[in-house]
Amino acid sequence: MEELRDASIHHTAQKLAIAIKAMKNYDEIFKKVQILACSPGVDKNDLRNTLEDAIKSTGLETEIRNIVFHLVRNTLITEPKSQDKIPHSADPLAYLRRSAVQWDRRVRKSLNAMCAELSMPLHGQPRAVMDRDELISKWEELSNYTIDLSNYRPVYAPKDLLDVLLSLKGPQKPPEDTEFVQVPNWEFSHIELPVKNLFELRILFAELFRKDVTTNNLDLPTQCKRILDTKQAPLCQHFLKKGKTPAPFRGELWSFVLSHGSYMNGQECDHWARLRNKVLTTDHIVDKLIFKDIQLTASNDDQYFVFEDVLYQIMLCFSRDTEIANQIQFEKYPVKGRNYEGPPSGVVPFHGICMFGRCH
């Protein structure tokens, strides 16, 4: 048993090492370790121990631990079986995948029709110099950026997608004795999805039932400050699970749980600058759709109109992020052999999409 455990740990460590080396900020972390290795406090005769002490004293150990925590939680999870290996006849959700392909074609067709109607290329075009200069000057106050949106309309609304979902017809179920049972006429109720029972849910969410009496006896703001000083993502996550976090500290605690804290490293700043530059240099139809959606929704919202300028920046840069498109499974055999053409992010703006961006 110990041998199997050691082998499992070794396998996990190998996967972690490969994942860390594939990260974009790996070079930055590696350079920090190299600088520490050359520091006077590191003895070449006892390189391992002295280097470990230097890494701990500079806080780099906490950063590496948080990276490992995020990788284990988000990346190194048991991946489901590939859909390519599942026979088409044995896939109970095959009809849903076919419907998804048809919906994707419908959205693309609608976007193509709008581009043809407005004589705009689907893949975008270089932005005019005057337009670019105006966009740069008003980047921090994009609500003052005037543009004619009268000819633009949302490609679809969430209600359109809901209507499609409700119209789906699942596979025929074998006849059952329903003399005394009234089965609702809703096909989604026939999808056989694995659902945990009450006992399994209690085990899965056992941490939510814990009653930590120590929290009641301590000053919560003081405890939050102590946890934030450690900068440890697992500790922040554990504290948030208790549900007693004071509002002023929730954002910073969640920033450690979701990423690496409230600060941005050099790689993230460069990535944001590249996305911003793409927005400034390329004019895309999704820009108009984003402006249209924000004006129809967030601008008229009593709680979120103050974030209008930030939403413009976030959604415009979001539309240029090709890493999002890499996570989307497009149609493998598109019509006429054409590859996907559309927004660089692969996400076609719909009515209400900016209300998701407000959670940034």
In this predicted model, what pLDDT tens digit does every residue of 59-114 receive, in sequence order? 888 888 888 888 888 766 545 444 555 555 566 677 788 888 888 888 888 888 88
Q: Report yes or no: 268 and 99 within 8 Å, Cβ to Cβ.
A: no
Helix (H, G, I), strand (E, B) or coil at 193: coil
In this predicted model, what pLDDT tens digit does every residue of 233-258 receive, in sequence order? 999 988 888 878 888 898 889 888 88
CA distance 211 to 185: 43
Residue 59 corresponds to which tokens in the numbers above?
């806080």
Q: Report yes or no: 344 and 277 within 8 Å, Cβ to Cβ.
A: no
What was the pLDDT predicted at 81? 47
Q: What number of other Cβ atoms are within 10 A of residue 212's Cβ?
A: 13
CA distance 42 to 54: 7
As a whole-number percent, the residues of the chain with pLDDT over 70 amount to 77
What residues form DSSP beta bridges with 126? Answer: 282
The model's pTM: 0.69
CA distance 353 to 294: 8
138 — pLDDT class (breaks 50, 70, 90) = very high
- Average pLDDT on 320-343 reads 69
Instruction: Assess whether pLDDT exceeds 70 at residue 211.
Output: no
How confident is the prediction for the chain on average, in pLDDT? 80
Range with the poorest average pLDDT among 87-96, 112-121, 135-144, 285-294: 87-96
- Average pLDDT on 208-226 reads 71
CA distance 198 to 204: 10
Q: Report yes or no: 290 and 147 within 8 Å, Cβ to Cβ.
A: no
